């Protein structure tokens, strides 16, 4: 299903429209091996800046060296297969089908913009699965690779913290990070790579003043002109506090899944540059939360309301009049922020019943 959607989207966007994000990624590879500054706007290549790491630019090689449309199709297929495979690994068969159906529409929306959000989602979920299974190298590699794309997936390293071998897991992740940071040395001199990272840092400093569709926009709309980082620090502390509170219950898989859900939604709500195409990451988190334990009526109602506002109201069949009535914040930021708070509250304050623990273990 996802692969067919990827092919259709490629024809739709790659033949009849201009896939700007893919063009940015593709141009970044050629600029990198051409020893050009990655973080300069070149309107003859694409209509926005490249905002990811030099490592991502290099790793985009398999897509960039192909003809434009062929590379775009491969990129979309990789995104589609990655999120499908991550959910296959995460859920047993009885819940996997539901998860795949619920995540299909936001995945399609991300692919329509040729973005990396579905792949980032998959890498976070893969990191969780790998740490569950004791695959420390794969877990650390997945988290660090995700961070090389969008930085925030580095939060996936928190999945290693409840483990008894956490120090070894973090050490392996650090080795993975150092390896990926230095990977562009395959095509650049050290001074060139340092210059690229300096340019990236300068661009990120400028971007830090923009709040996108994150929770920080709600702070701004309330008349508080706060920078993003204090809010992000507070939210990060809350995530770690929730992990500390439920650490003794980590053997309960429903607790682990709820923490995965909290982390996925966190990566969107508190990313100051979030946009509607990032919804696949947060919606995947909400799907994981919904399926983490037998869903009661109130949990289904909360999920359905958020899903309708975030996913369904963005669909083309929805009348433009409805979209005008509902503000962008009401269709994205507010429901996702509420969803994150609900997951946080349930994780911290709602203890798992014996019946739920048994069901989670048997799954």
* pLDDT in the model for residue 90: 97
pLDDT of residue 270: 93
User: Could you give the CA distance from residue 253 to residue 167 in angstroms, rounded to a whole number?
Assistant: 22
In this predicted model, what pLDDT tens digit does every residue of 118-141 receive, in sequence order?
Answer: 999 999 999 999 999 999 999 999
List the helix and strand counts (H, then E) for the chain: 19, 0
Can you list the alpha helix ranges (DSSP code H) found in 42-165?
Answer: 54-59, 61-64, 68-90, 93-112, 117-132, 136-150
One DSSP character per residue, 49-69 reads ---S-HHHHHHTHHHHTS-HH
Q: What is the pLDDT of residue 18?
A: 86
Mean pLDDT lowest among 1-5, 49-53, 195-199: 1-5
Q: Which sequence spans correspond to the domains of the chain?
A: 1-207, 210-363
158-172, 251-265, 305-319: range with lowest mean pLDDT: 305-319
Instruction: Specify the DSSP class assigned to residue 45.
Output: T
pLDDT at residue 319, rounded to an integer: 73
Confidence of residue 304 (pLDDT cuts 50, 70, 90): very high
Mean pLDDT of all residues belonging to the chain? 90
% of the chain at pLDDT higher than 90:
71
d(CA 110, CA 108): 5
Question: 3-state DSSP: the chain helix, strand, coil percent, rounded to 5?
Answer: 75, 0, 25
Q: Is the pLDDT of residue 1 over 70?
A: no
């Amino acid at each position: 299903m996802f692969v067919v959607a990827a092919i259709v989207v490629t024809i739709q966007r790659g033949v009849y429209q201009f896939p700007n994000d893919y063009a940015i990624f593709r141009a970044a590879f050629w600029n990198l091996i051409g020893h050009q500054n990655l973080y300069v706007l070149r309107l003859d290549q694409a209509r926005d800046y490249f905002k990811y790491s030099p490592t991502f630019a290099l790793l985009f090689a398999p897509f960039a060296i192909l003809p434009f449309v062929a590379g775009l199709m491969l990129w979309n297929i990789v995104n589609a297969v990655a999120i499908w495979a991550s959910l296959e690994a995460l859920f047993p068969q009885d819940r996997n089908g539901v998860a795949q159906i619920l995540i299909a529409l936001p995945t399609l929306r991300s692919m329509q913009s040729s973005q990396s959000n579905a792949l980032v989602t998959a890498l976070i979920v893969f990191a969780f699965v790998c740490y569950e299974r004791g695959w420390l190298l794969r877990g650390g590699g997945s988290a660090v690779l995700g961070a090389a794309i969008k930085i925030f997936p580095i939060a996936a390293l928190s999945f290693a913290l409840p483990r008894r071998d956490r120090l070894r897991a973090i050490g392996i992740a650090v080795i993975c990070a150092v390896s990926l940071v230095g990977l562009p040395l395959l095509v650049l001199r050290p001074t060139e790579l340092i210059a690229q990272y300096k340019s990236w840092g300068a661009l990120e400093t400028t971007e830090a003043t923009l709040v996108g569709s994150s929770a920080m926009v709600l702070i701004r709309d309330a008349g508080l002109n706060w920078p993003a980082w204090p809010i992000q620090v507070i939210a990060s502390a809350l995530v770690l506090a929730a992990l500390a509170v439920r650490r003794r219950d980590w053997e309960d898989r429903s607790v682990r899944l709820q923490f995965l859900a909290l982390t996925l939604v966190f990566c969107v709500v508190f990313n100051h540059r979030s946009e509607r195409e990032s919804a696949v990451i947060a919606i995947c988190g909400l799907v994981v939360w919904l399926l983490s334990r037998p869903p009661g009526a109130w949990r289904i109602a909360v999920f359905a309301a958020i899903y309708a506002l975030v996913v369904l109201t963005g669909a083309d069949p929805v009348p433009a009049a409805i979209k005008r009535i509902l503000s962008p914040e009401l269709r994205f930021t507010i429901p996702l922020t509420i969803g994150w708070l609900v997951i946080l509250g349930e994780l911290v304050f709602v203890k798992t019943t014996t019946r739920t623990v048994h069901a989670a273990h048997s799954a």
